[in-house]
Amino acid sequence: MQEGIVEGLRKLGLTEYEAKAYATLVGMGEATAREVHELSGVPRTRIYDILRDLGSKGFVEFVQGSPTYYRAVEPDSVMERLRDELVSCIDRSTNELLSLNLEAHGSSPVWCVRSKWGINNRIRDFLSKVERELVVFCRSPDLLIEHKAEMKKVPGLRIKVDRKEKFVGLGFEVQEMKEGAERFFKDYITDGTSNSIDALMIADDRSSIVVGTMGGERLAVIIRLPVVAMLQKAGWESLV
Amino acid sequence: MQEGIVEGLRKLGLTEYEAKAYATLVGMGEATAREVHELSGVPRTRIYDILRDLGSKGFVEFVQGSPTYYRAVEPDSVMERLRDELVSCIDRSTNELLSLNLEAHGSSPVWCVRSKWGINNRIRDFLSKVERELVVFCRSPDLLIEHKAEMKKVPGLRIKVDRKEKFVGLGFEVQEMKEGAERFFKDYITDGTSNSIDALMIADDRSSIVVGTMGGERLAVIIRLPVVAMLQKAGWESLV
DNA sequence: TTTGTTGTAACCAGATGAGTTACAATGCAA
DNA sequence: TTGCATTGTAACTCATCTGGTTACAACAAA
């Protein structure tokens, strides 16, 4: 049996035993508790309550007897129901949350974002709000690849990189910064934690976003203070 | 704060504390850890790691300081991502399961179904496969109401009930069974467990389905043996 | 009777989450 | 500066859940 299928079913709310038993039963079509146990690896003495639970959840059917026979309910049917339940739960939650969320917010000019998705989300948002000009410094092509499509649409795009050869074939016009300037963006250590900056973007001399690893965790810092943005840009210009 | 919103978020994979903190933060727009604690009821000494977790999951952003300020990422944005993740997980699982499910199955002629959804699913399937004739006995209008639409499409529909007055206004033509015949479907006790039958349907003299409560739990029994169906129908006919 | 199988029930151990306590560090006000 | 409240960290307890095991009753076949 594949490993991934169990993992997937667990994400959808089944336990490991339930996932194994159900997947096995789907594969066997019809089987006794013992057979499910043999193939799935679920302990024999537990297979009975597991199958009973699956029955209560609408995943399997059975025919009483000695031995009792079990079969899986058609997976597309079960999965469709699951999807409907989850989607309607999400829609409900979204509406409830939005009804709490009436007031305006985001007044603080600087925010940190921690998760990978959160960072990408922020970058997308940031890119979509550029009006005239975006200057970018970056040290790895990953970020440019990830946001290539949005980046292409940005007006006034200028990119500086540490070494040109890392960025060939991406379709971006990049400029290499001058000798010795890379020290501004080198890995450094503060308070015993190592920091490294992967990318810096400044939009319209107004807001900026810094992406990097600080103290062992990936972080993005969004700053919407024109003063700071101007200063950062001045530094950036000096990199030519 | 509403109770339902926390319950909904928990179904989507958050813990109680996480759900409370996130919902609260959505409502406040921007707040310190303390404020979130006060409003959400999450213990103050736990609010810090909860908010950190929410950050790692992409639900909140923060600005370091003393005190650190937090804000919720826009709920529609977060929820949309969650939906995409779950739906793609379901699609993947469905495909993997179906690829295991190539062989034909369902050869056994009798099956029990336990869950509410499973029972309804079975009944829908059963009704959709009627070709010429469906005879129904039922003791409560619930089942007819639940499957009214499908039932209307069934050819050769004949319904017998215990007492006609319970079924007025449903748009079904029902026939009352004769005096004394209800004893066949009365609640009865076997092996110390009480059983009661809510409905019995027979399709094309071929297959039948019985819905009822047996030993304290709701159960449907599907039988695809023509012999049994014929016998059941003979009994049914005698109810006139 | 013996043996093996089916099915039930209980138990143990590890992980996780809810809720609490202790305490270091950081301000802030007198 | 001292004293005090607040911020933030870390640990611990308790209950629940899940994975994994043991014991045993009921039953059928040999």
Out of A52, A121, A222, the one facing B77 most closely (by C-beta) is: A121
C-alpha span between B74 and B233 (Å, rounded): 60
List, in order, residues 6 or more apart from B236 with CB less than 8 Å away: B135, B137, B160, B200, B202
- Cα–Cα distance for residue pair B153/A80, rounded to 1 Å: 24
Q: Are strands A110-113 and A134-138 parallel, antiparallel or unpaired?
A: unpaired
Contact of A50 with A18, CB cutoff 8 Å: yes
What's the CA gap between A203 and A224, in Å, rounded?
A: 9
Cβ contact A105–B29 (<8 Å) = yes
Q: Please report the pLDDT score of residue B50 as a whole number.
A: 95
CB-closest option in B11, B23, B113 to A61? B113
Please state, for a pLDDT cut of 90, what percent of chain A lies above it: 26
pLDDT at A1: 56
Domain B3-77 has CATH 3.40.50.300: no
CATH 3.30.870.10 location in chain A: 110-237
Which tokens sit at B74? 């826009």
A17 touches strand D (CB under 7 A): yes
Residue A212's DSSP bridge partners are A197, A219
Interchain pair B117, A81: CB under 8 A: yes
Q: Where in chain A is the domain with CATH 1.10.10.10?
A: 3-77
SS3 B44: helix
A10 and A48 Cβ atoms separated by less than 8 Å: no
pLDDT winner (highest mean) among A74-88, A94-108, B221-235:
A74-88
- Give the C-alpha separation, A35 to A24, whole Å: 9
CA B160 – CA A69 distance, rounded (Å): 33
**Omega before B75 cis (within 30°)?**
no
Q: What percent of chain A has pLDDT over 70?
A: 80
Q: CATH classification of B110-237 is 3.30.870.10, yes or no?
A: yes
Q: pLDDT band at A106, cuts 50/70/90?
A: very low
Residue of A nearest to B84 (CA): A87
Instruction: Identify which of B218, B177, B210, B222 has the alpha carbon closest to the alpha carbon of residue B194.
Output: B218
The answer to whether B45 CB sits below 7 Å from nucleic acid chain D is: yes
Cβ separation A97–B26 shorter than 8 A: yes
Residue type, A159: I
Compute the mean pLDDT over every residue in chain B, rounded to the nearest whole number. Answer: 82
| pLDDT one-digit tens code per residue, B59-74 | 999 888 778 889 899 9
Distance (Å, whole) CA B74 – CA B54: 13
Q: Which of A160, A150, A147 has its CA nearest to residue A197? A: A160
